[in-house]
Amino acid sequence: QVQLVESGGGLVQSGGSLRLSCTFSTAMFSIWDMSWYRQVPGKQRELVATVTRTSSTIYADSVKGRFTITRHSTNNTLVLQMNSLKPEDTAKYYCHAACVGNTYWGNGTQVTVSS
């Protein structure tokens, strides 16, 4: 059974850093486009960053220069390094995998940034 499991969320002060990880239980990690999304109550889920199967990266304008997405095939892990965090980054962060019509979501990890 394919699963995405996130970890690394928590409470941090404004200006601080957090590192989110997502482990993907698949034997074919390299063929998936991997992303982080985030959602706050009452709002639509929004794309934070994507790293494609060819390692191209895409970032939301709101996180450019502060967040870095990387993928690690040795242990099937997706990482989101978040620096210079702001209160508006507070949300539940979700890992997402997509490949030719197949998509999977993790259950999410909460990030809270205090001012």
pLDDT band at 3 (very low <50, low <70, confident <90, very high): very high
Please, which residues have CB within 8 angstroms of residue 101's CB and are 6 or more apart in sequence? Answer: none
pLDDT of residue 79: 98
Task: Residue 71: name the closest of 10, 17, 28, 18 by CA.
Answer: 28
The DSSP secondary-structure symbol of 65 reads T
| 12, 79 Cβ separation under 8 angstroms | no
Nearest 5°: the CA angle 39, 94, 11 is 75
User: What pLDDT is recorded for position 30?
Assistant: 86
pLDDT exceeds 90 at position 86:
yes
What local confidence, expressed as pLDDT, does residue 26 receive? 83
Q: State the Cα–Cα distance between residues 63 and 84, nearest whole angstrom.
A: 10
Please report, for residues 23, 24, 26, 44, the alpha-carbon distance to residue 40 in angstroms, rounded to integers and kept in the order given: 23, 24, 29, 8
Provide the token pair at 45: 């889920």
The answer to whether residue 85 scores a pLDDT higher than 90 is: yes
Mean pLDDT score, 74-82 = 95
Once rounded to an integer, what is the mean pLDDT over residues 37-51?
Answer: 97
The chain-wide mean pLDDT, for the chain, equals: 95
